[in-house]
Structure 1
Amino acid sequence: MANSDRMNDNNSYSYLLLAGVLGLAIYFASQALQNLFWHPLSSFPGPKLGTLTRFYKAYIDGSPSKSFVHALKEFHGKYGDVVRVGPNELHFSDPSAYFDIYNPSNRWDKEETLYHSFGEDRSSFGFLTYKEAKERRDLLARRFSKKAVHEVQDIVQEKVEELCASFERNCKTGPINLFYAFRCMSTDVITYLCFGKSIDAVHAPKHEAPIVKAMDASLAAFVCFKHSPLYKNMIMKCPPNLSKIISPATAGLVDLQVLLRKQIEEITNDPSELAKLPHSQTVYHELLSPEAYHSGTVPSSESLYEEAQALLFGGADTTGTTLMHGSFYILTLSDVYRRLKAELLQAWPDLDQPPRLSVLEKLPYLTAVIKESMRMSPGVASPLPRVVPAAGATISGKFVPGGTVVEMSSQFVHRNESVFEKPNDFIPDRWMGDNGQRLDKWLVNFSRGPRQCLGRELAWAELYLCFAHVYRRFDLTIHSSSPKALEFRDCFLPDYIGPHLRADLSPVAA
């Protein structure tokens, strides 16, 4: 009798398990049919797996040799200008679509999956709505305006000169790793301007600053965070020492996070600490001023920390990689190198009298080189997703229903042959004269619209000063000219997978 009861119980459990499996199968099958045939986006073409599930993107991002932004080129070649890349997601390739999505008059929300994958939800970068972000962005804009950047140009120049001094110290012992060196400089600039003290990354042996290497190592983790919020929360909410054990590659980043949290806690607990900072124009001075907010209340220490992390990643990486990409082409194209050196020598005849930023901004060929470097650099590699408002919108001549996630990578503007002749060639002359003014509209490395990059004026200043100082103070030859140095995976920011760009440098006599 007892055996019979146990058999009946086992059968009941088996039936329940079978019913559960069948129920899940029916649910997923119905979702698949809904996505394929009855979804509002069912008329848009795209890969079938992408139509069925958002985890198709996770599969692509998980590949060691491929990433989503590269897959998009294949998709558009097969399906046309508009591709359904997810169940509720469209990517566009027609350049005009960029200005429909990232239009200054749009107040479209950011999409949560990407923007909440960095642990910066309560920052100017991570706020999803325009309304949430506006007050913080308006506040920060005062420190990153063109006028404010010109006021602190001596600080930027000081960090560039420290980079050049490190080149002089190290160039006799072998080639310089430009991949690390430029990003060390941009890291030192943003940390000093934002937090009142520099990381001093340019002084690291071989420019292999732990924080720069840690930021690189963290990029793959952000991809995992995007597709698995559970993993993100586990890493972000664990005690620092435990996080290092779980994910050793992010140890340097965890140490930086601890430093930032400690510094912010000290200042929020005792605002008099502000008086101890080296200068009175830091971002902290704005963020910690109650008068700067409509509510009269300073944000929480957690929000201030997340803002600090967002500013660090946003300010350190893209400028450094633009300098690296530009240098690759300058050093492999002898005519570009010669013309840039000649213009800098004419504008800066005495090495002991470096020109001001306002002078460099008027140099036509240097400006053209910078613009072409921006165009050829991936900047932020990923498309920046936005949510179409409830009423829907017309994008590139096609009506898109409300609630749809829409996006476009800047690569599809910068490498479009209908806008840029020979788009894969580095041609600074395209930016000269009247034709250059026409093309300015299509330079979208800082994005466009009300959520475009806050630090664009600072980036311009760093690029002018760094290109000018490095190519005026040194003669450079590329140590290895493989284009593999520019290969990357899309981890929101580019994760470079090829050999690092290195150059042999020698200081000029005069």
Structure 2
Amino acid sequence: MLGPVFLTGVALSLISYFIIYPVVEYFRDPKGLRKYPNLNGLSGMTNLSFIWEAYKGFRSNRLLEAHQKYPVVRIGPNSLSYGDPKAIKDIYGHGTSCVKDQFYSVLVGSHYHLADVVDKPDHARKRKILSSAYALKNLEGWEHKVADKAERLVHAFDTRCTAPITKKTNNNPAPEDLTVDYRAWTNFFTLDAIADIGLSERLGFLDAGNDSCTGERMDGTLYTIPSYRACLHATARAQSNLVWGYDWYPFLVEMSKVISTKFREYWRLNEGWNDIVWHRACKRLRRYQAGEVLDDFFACLMEDKSGNMNNMEFGEIVAEVSIMMNAGSDTTALAMTNAMFLLLRNPKCLAKLREELDTVLDSEDVVAPYDKIRYLPYLRACLDEALRILPPTSFGLPRRTPRDGSVIGEEFVAGDTTVSISAYVAHRNPKLFPDPESFQPERWIGEKGKELQPYFISFSAGARGCIGRNISYLEQSVVLATVVHRYEMALAKPDWEPERWESFNLMSSAMPVKIWRRTFETANE
């Protein structure tokens, strides 16, 4: 007798929680958000609607479609997305009253890292410690590590060069001539570089031509992980699909393991990612404890420049290593891939960049020295234009209005409301970026380019902007200049496009290219 009564009670509770309460709150509208158009029919009632948009694969493109009609769109019961870049300073700028959203607390592990810490004093403490590590002076001292990886990339590309395409040959390369997956190799580069810069560790991916590495379980067991990238990407894909239901996230994770073989595999690979990070951090700590004096990011975590201990808990250090090995590799690799893709699709821009590089680089320069290229305006413009069109971190980084509310754009928004603006959307505002889908590096040159900088948010903005911006530009500049100066490349077809999908980053499929050495005598005719 009690069984049916109990089941009926559970059913009524679930109906009340998932259906009746959301509908009542939607019409009660305590924060005045019902005036904003919904992204889809259920956005004002449940966060499950945005989880569905995430599952479909490219939520920022869906937001772009909505923002072409509406400046503000409701993407959840308590979440607003903005399309007007003028809202950037109110949401992310220096002095904003908005804080990091609950989104970051949902995903945090045992300790916060700089990118997800919500508490402002704790963020200030972390930023002070890490600023010295990411300071431009330090990066210039670590340039030799970037140059070493670029030289290894060149060696790999040299061994994979094919015969040149000439006017007499077909412009579509033969499948067997597509010897380089540019997406994979740039990722091998950034992973090798950040491991050396951050931990003085040689992963050796560029030498091996694959990303197999060692993982370490908490019990000290070592084992081989077939693909570093597979673990990293699976983690991001699973989390970015489910995180939007903040209160339900742990439940959704467990449910996804039960109902989806795909998600079960994601979460299995996530364990591999955790073991990759744990091994890297433990291995470097053992070297530090053994008295090795190494010039790297980890040393800056342990001590300040005067040798005083920072006294960070080891769990906090592991968290910083995790975000460094994650955000410090994949976003830059995506940026490198996107820049080369867009240049190959726009041969006139590629020719103009090569002409600029040829004025400062000699044919004997195997790797482009940073001091020769760092101030080249068209090189930087090409990087920024690629970052504009295809920002590696494309989604709107969530912020939360203060308890008393805040003015965003020209309207007051009630307190404790999630607000965001997608870089993918902001960078396509035609009033600021005419013909926004076209690759026009010239738009970043001179005074006009300076005027656009406040609306360029590939690295976010304000006090919480990406601390790794300088190192990303260093790596991007050296690799692009080196490759464009030394090689010619061709896509599989002139109109070839990669598959793209969105996790936390705007991901790209493999990019197979034909590659051959430039003939400088011909190039200089």
The AA in structure 1 aligned to 2:61 is: H
Q: Is the 8 A contact 1:143 1:281 kept in 2?
A: no
- Residue deviations 1:100-130, cap 9 Å, x none? 1001112532122355336475211121222
CA shift, 1:171, in A, is 2.6
Matched, 1:44 2:47: no
CA shift, 1:44, in A, is 2.5
Corresponding residue of 1:230: 250
- Residue deviations 1:283-310, cap 9 Å, x none? 111112289899x662222221121111
Deviates more, 1:219-228 or 1:367-376: 219-228
CA shift, 1:32, in A, is 1.6
CA distance in 2, matches of 1:26, 1:246: 29
**Number of residues paired by the alignment?**
482
1:137-176 equivalences under 5 Å are: 137-172=127-162, 174-175=177-178, 176=180
Matched, 1:75 2:66: yes
Corresponding residue of 2:100: 110
CA distance in 2, matches of 1:292, 1:93: 46
CA shift, 1:53, in A, is 0.7
CA distance in 1, matches of 2:21, 2:252: 30
CA distance in 2, matches of 1:17, 1:255: 40
Q: Is the 8 A contact 2:368 2:481 kept in 1?
A: no
- One of 180, 183, 196 as aligned partner of 1:179: 183
Corresponding residue of 1:216: 233
Corresponding residue of 2:438: 425
Q: 1:118 to 1:494 in 2, by over 3 A?
A: farther
1:300-311 equivalences under 5 Å are: 300-311=313-324
CA shift, 1:505, in A, is 1.2
CA shift, 1:458, in A, is 0.3
Paired residue secondary structure (1:347): coil
CA shift, 1:206, in A, is 6.8
- One of 289, 296, 304 as aligned partner of 2:303: 289
Identify, as 1 or 2, the structure richer in helix.
Answer: 1
Paired residue secondary structure (2:501): strand
CA shift, 1:428, in A, is 1.1
Corresponding residue of 2:514: 504
1:21-32 equivalences under 5 Å are: 21-27=11-17, 28-32=19-23
Matched, 1:323 2:327: no
Provide the identity percentage: 20
CA shift, 1:214, in A, is 3.1
CA distance in 2, matches of 1:234, 1:285: 38
Flag the structure with more relative contact order, 1 or 2, with Cα contacts below 8 A and sequence separation at least 6. 2
Q: 1:86 to 1:305 in 2, by over 3 A?
A: same
In the alignment, structure 1 segments of 5+ residues that lack a partner are: 1-9, 236-243
CA distance in 2, matches of 1:387, 1:416: 24
CA distance in 1, matches of 2:177, 2:29: 63
Corresponding residue of 1:198: 202
Give RMSD over aligned pairs.
Answer: 2.9
CA shift, 1:266, in A, is 5.1
Paired residue secondary structure (1:450): helix
The AA in structure 1 aligned to 2:437 is: N
CA shift, 1:250, in A, is 6.1
Could you state the TM-score of these two structures normalised by the residue count of structure 1?
A: 0.86
CA shift, 1:58, in A, is 1.3
CA distance in 2, matches of 1:120, 1:416: 39
Q: 1:256 to 1:201 in 2, by over 3 A?
A: farther
Corresponding residue of 1:238: none
The AA in structure 1 aligned to 2:343 is: I
Could you state the TM-score of these two structures normalised by the residue count of structure 2?
A: 0.84
Q: 1:275 to 1:293 in 2, by over 3 A?
A: closer
Matched, 1:126 2:139: no
- Residue deviations 1:180-229, cap 9 Å, x none? 11111111111111111132222233789821233233332222452563
The AA in structure 1 aligned to 2:66 is: F
CA distance in 2, matches of 1:354, 1:83: 47
